[in-house]
């Protein structure tokens, strides 16, 4: 089926709508398996080591709490969760002055939480944090009085490490939270979520922040097809990276530095998307609407009027896709 895609307001937020594919299945696909060879983050994690990039992202959120004013993300647990070993990393990150990356890491959480709030207002009662790392939403949950349940999905190695971290920081496990250990490259998201108590007959909100780049494209799209098959009203927000060829020289150099750093930690970037091509794939997967937040809109909506110059660079994008 061909989907009409319109791009509104050039330079502003891109809105791409597809004709509703009517009858998008309400049931979850049985056993969504994403077995792909050569996924190196998956290999590192399969070796039992927790994700080092999860700590890196958490340190940037913590740094945002302590050095940026005004904050675009208020997260009182961001500092406690990085633990004592995070303190040195906090100082090193402050010295590196990677403003654009810090801004983007804070933005992606804020944007997801803004869209989640809108989803809760329309009646969504489940939030699935895919590749949760040290994300603290579940332990803050401002929608608990609306009965929002939270599912944290992550590689078992990272999840084990996070739970030890939470205990060491004295952060309690709230009753609305359930864990689902999943390797996106090899395990069934549907099965593990069901085991954790996910209600496949009710709509859900999903986020996948800072994760897609570390997965193979089949694993990313398998996850997207799983969400697209959820109940109408469901939504996913996820971050993706543009191909290097789309970046200006300075951004390309900065990107190469970041990629080299995380590749050395055993978590190389694997997957990049052109926004229009990605929107087409998401619409083909069964989503009815796709919105891509680019840097111009992000800086306008979230970083205007600042005196510290904090803003996102050109490399990252955040997609929101509605079922």
Ligand X SMILES: C[S@@+](CC[C@H](N)C(=O)[O-])C[C@H]1O[C@@H](n2cnc3c(N)ncnc32)[C@H](O)[C@@H]1O
Binding site for ligand X (CB under 6 A): 41-42, 45, 51, 53-54, 57-58, 131-135, 154-155, 158, 182-185, 209-211, 214-215
Least gap, CB of 129 to ligand X (angstroms)? 7
Least gap, CB of 262 to ligand X (angstroms)? 8
User: Would you say 12 or 163 has its CB closer to ligand X?
Assistant: 163
User: Would you say 154 or 235 has its CB closer to ligand X?
Assistant: 154
Residue number closest to ligand X, CB atom: 133
Least gap, CB of 164 to ligand X (angstroms)? 14
The b/e string for 204-230 (b: 16+ C-beta within 10 A; e otherwise) is bbbbbbbbbbbbbeebbbbbbbbbbbb
User: Would you say 3 or 184 has its CB closer to ligand X?
Assistant: 184
**Site of tokens 């696909």:** 29
User: Would you say 3 or 111 has its CB closer to ligand X?
Assistant: 111
Helices (H), the chain: 40-46, 52-67, 78-82, 85-96, 99-121, 137-140, 156-169, 189-196, 217-228, 249-264, 275-285, 295-302
Least gap, CB of 4 to ligand X (angstroms)? 33
User: Would you say 113 or 154 has its CB closer to ligand X?
Assistant: 154
Least gap, CB of 18 to ligand X (angstroms)? 27
Least gap, CB of 147 to ligand X (angstroms)? 24
User: Would you say 35 or 168 has its CB closer to ligand X?
Assistant: 35
Least gap, CB of 163 to ligand X (angstroms)? 13
Nearest to 85 by CA among 165, 8, 157, 199: 165
**Site of tokens 């864990």:** 179
Two tokens, residue 119: 């989803």
Cα 265 from Cα 73, distance rounded (Å): 27
Q: What is the DSSP string of 201-217?
A: TS--EEEE-S-GGGS-H
User: Would you say 54 or 310 has its CB closer to ligand X?
Assistant: 54
Consecutive H or E run containing 320: strand 316-322
Note if the bond before 252 is cis, omega within 30 degrees. Answer: no
Cα 57 to the center of its chain, rounded Å: 11
């Amino acid at each position: 089926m061909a989907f009409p895609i319109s791009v509104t307001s050039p330079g502003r937020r891109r809105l791409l709508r597809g004709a509703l594919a009517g009858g998008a299945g309400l049931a979850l696909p049985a056993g969504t398996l994403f077995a792909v060879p050569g996924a190196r983050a998956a290999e590192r994690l399969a070796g039992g080591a927790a994700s080092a990039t999860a700590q890196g992202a958490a340190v940037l959120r913590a740094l945002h709490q302590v050095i940026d004013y005004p904050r675009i993300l208020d997260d009182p647990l961001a500092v406690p969760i990085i633990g004592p070993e995070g303190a040195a990393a906090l100082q090193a990150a402050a010295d590196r002055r990677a403003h654009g990356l810090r801004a983007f890491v804070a933005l992606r959480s804020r944007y997801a939480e803004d869209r989640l709030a809108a989803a809760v207002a329309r009646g969504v009662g489940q939030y699935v944090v895919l590749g949760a790392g040290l994300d603290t939403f579940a332990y803050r949950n401002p929608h608990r009085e609306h009965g929002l349940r939270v599912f944290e999905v992550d590689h078992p190695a990272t999840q084990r490490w996070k739970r030890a971290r939470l205990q060491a920081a004295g952060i309690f496990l709230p009753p609305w939270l359930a864990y689902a250990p999943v390797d996106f490259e090899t395990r069934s998201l549907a099965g593990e979520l069901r085991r954790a108590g996910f209600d496949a007959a009710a709509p859900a909100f999903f986020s996948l922040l800072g994760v897609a780049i570390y997965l193979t494209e089949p694993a990313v799209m398998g996850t997207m097809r799983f969400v697209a098959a959820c109940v109408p009203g469901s939504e996913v927000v996820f971050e993706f990276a543009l191909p290097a060829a789309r970046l200006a020289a300075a951004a390309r150099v900065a990107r190469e530095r970041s990629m080299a750093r995380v590749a050395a930690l055993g978590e190389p970037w694997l997957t990049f998307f052109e926004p229009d091509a990605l929107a087409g794939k998401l619409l083909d997967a069964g989503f009815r609407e796709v919105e891509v937040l680019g840097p111009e809109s992000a800086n306008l909506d979230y970083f205007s009027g600042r005196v510290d110059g904090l803003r996102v660079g050109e490399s990252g994008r955040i997609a929101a896709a509605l079922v």
